[in-house]
Amino acid sequence: MKTEFKPIAMRCNKQQFNELKPRLDKYGFIFQYDIFDLKYRDDSFLTNNYDGNNLIGFTLISSKRETYETFNADLFLQCCGVELEETFTLTKSEIIENKDKTLKEMFKDVFEVELEVCKWYKHKGLEYIFCFNGCYEDCSQYGITKNGWNNEISSDKRHLHNFISATEEEVKTALVNEAIKRGFKEGVLIDKLLKNNCGTCKQPYKTKQVSNEDFQFDFDINYLFIGNLLVFAEGKWAVAINKVDMTLQDIELKLGYKINLLK
């Protein structure tokens, strides 16, 4: 975790400083002088950015700095702008339990993850779900964000650690909600989506009354059906056409003029 640099003063005794010093050396900090060879008191504060320079020092007065009365080595480094490496701890029982596993198997999140083509993923922190098309470089994934359907979702490799596999139920729920939003409901006609729909796709169809249970989702090929009616396939949506029953008089009234039917 990395924080913005901020000048602080933190209570620190000689033993605590001696334990921290190798870590400060690792990150290239320099010291005001050999701090504890001079007049050191137990009520001293360890400071960063000493006197406006990139030095580590100590003071008896903590003015103009945020003050911490309890020593915390990690916090001190973070306030110096250091990005700390994540550490992992295993108990003896965990070591024994996982003795036959590789590090990659035990710590999957540490190793770079490659997304699988045609698989669905979701962002751990943001509200979106997408199907990966194999291209990391541009914003070309299709999926659903909090604002609705989107054909320009990014899967930048820099954010791979934020992507986790979406479950079949999560994908189906997202697609069904989008289908209902697009107007797939009782009485609409469904325009043909693909040239072939298992040999049964003819245009147009009339749906029955639709509920969530009426949708079937094939997770492996990304097809969403209502009964045998295909409404979503590989990132493309069928068109829901509202059907309205009208008499000739209704049509004339709607158009504003008379209609002569030709024989």
Task: Tell whether 219 is covered by a domain.
Answer: yes
Q: In which band, very low, low, confident or very high, does the pLDDT at 94 lie, cut at 50, 70 and 90?
A: confident
Alpha-carbon dihedral of residues 205, 211, 213, 216, nearest 10 degrees? Answer: 30
State whether 60 and 108 are in the same domain.
no
Task: Indicate the pLDDT class of residue 227, thresholds 50, 70 and 90.
Answer: confident
- Residue 75, Cβ neighbours under 10 Å: how many? 15
Residue 204 in this model has a pLDDT that exceeds 50: no
Final residue of a domain: which of 134, 166, 198?
Answer: 166
Q: Is residue 255 part of a domain?
A: no
Among the ranges given (10-24, 48-62, 159-173), the one the predictor scored with the smallest mean pLDDT = 48-62
Q: Examine residue 263 and state whether it is found in any structural domain, yes or no.
A: no
For residue 237, the tally of other CB atoms under 10 A from its CB is 17
Does one domain contain both 177 and 194? yes
Nearest to 207 by CA among 230, 190, 182, 225: 190
Residue 262 placed within a domain? no
> Both ends of the chain: CA-CA distance in Å?
79
Pair 99, 141 in one domain: yes
Whether the Cβ atoms of residue 164 and residue 218 lie closer than 8 Å to each other: no
Q: How many CA atoms lie within 13 A of 147 on its CB side?
A: 4
Regarding whether 141 and 100 lie in a shared domain, the answer is yes
Do 47 and 14 reside in the same domain of the chain? yes
75 and 99, same structural domain? no
Residue 207 has pLDDT above 60, yes or no: no
Pairing of strands 30-31, 55-59: parallel
**What mean pLDDT comes out for the span 170-174?**
93
Mean pLDDT, the chain, as a whole number? 78
Name the least confident of 26-35, 230-239, 254-263. 26-35
Number of folded domains that form the chain: 3
Confidence class of residue 71 from pLDDT cuts 50, 70 and 90? very high
Q: Which pLDDT band, with edges at 50, 70 and 90, does 176 fall under?
A: very high
* Same domain flag for 162 and 178: no
* Residue 259 in domain: no
pLDDT at 203 (0 to 100):
40
Q: Which residue has the higher pLDDT, 157 or 243?
A: 157
pLDDT given for residue 182 in this prediction: 87
Give the dihedral sign, CA 84/27/49/43: positive
Mark whether 110 and 131 lie in a shared domain. yes
Predicted local confidence at residue 63, as pLDDT: 64
Listed residues 79, 106, 130: the one ending a domain = 79
DSSP E strands in 157-263: the ranges are: 163-165, 189-190, 205-206, 215-218, 223-226, 229-233, 236-237, 240-241
Structure tokens at 232: 């979503």
Question: Can you say how many angstroms the Cα of residue 236 is from the centroid of all Cα atoms in its chain?
Answer: 23
Q: Note down the domain range covering 100.
A: 93-166
Q: What are phi and psi of 76, to 5 degrees?
A: -60, -45
Highest-confidence range of 49-53, 112-116, 184-188, by mean pLDDT? 112-116
- Asked if residue 42 is part of any domain, the answer here is yes
Phi-psi region of 243 (alpha: psi -120 to 50; beta: other; left: phi over 0): beta
Structural domain includes residue 246: no
**Looking at the structure, do residues 100 and 67 belong to the same domain, yes or no?**
no
The CA–CA distances, whole Å, from 45 to 55, 70, 231 equal 14, 10, 67
Give yes or no: residues 236 and 179 share one domain.
Answer: yes
**Strand 240-241's sheet: what is its strand order?**
205-206, 189-190, 240-241
Nearest one of 121, 149, 147 to 134, comparing CA atoms: 121
Peptide bond into 22 cis (omega under 30): no
Last residue of a domain, one of 166, 182, 213: 166
| pLDDT greater than 90 at residue 164 | no
Minimal CA–CA distance to 234: which of 59, 117, 137? 117
User: Residue 69 — left, alpha, or beta (φ > 0 → left; ψ -120 to 50 → alpha)?
Assistant: alpha
Share of the chain above pLDDT 70, in %: 78
Whether residues 135 and 175 share a domain: the answer is: no
> Quick one: 125 and 178 in the same domain?
no
Residue 256 lies in a domain: no
Q: Which residue has the higher pLDDT, 173 or 162?
A: 173
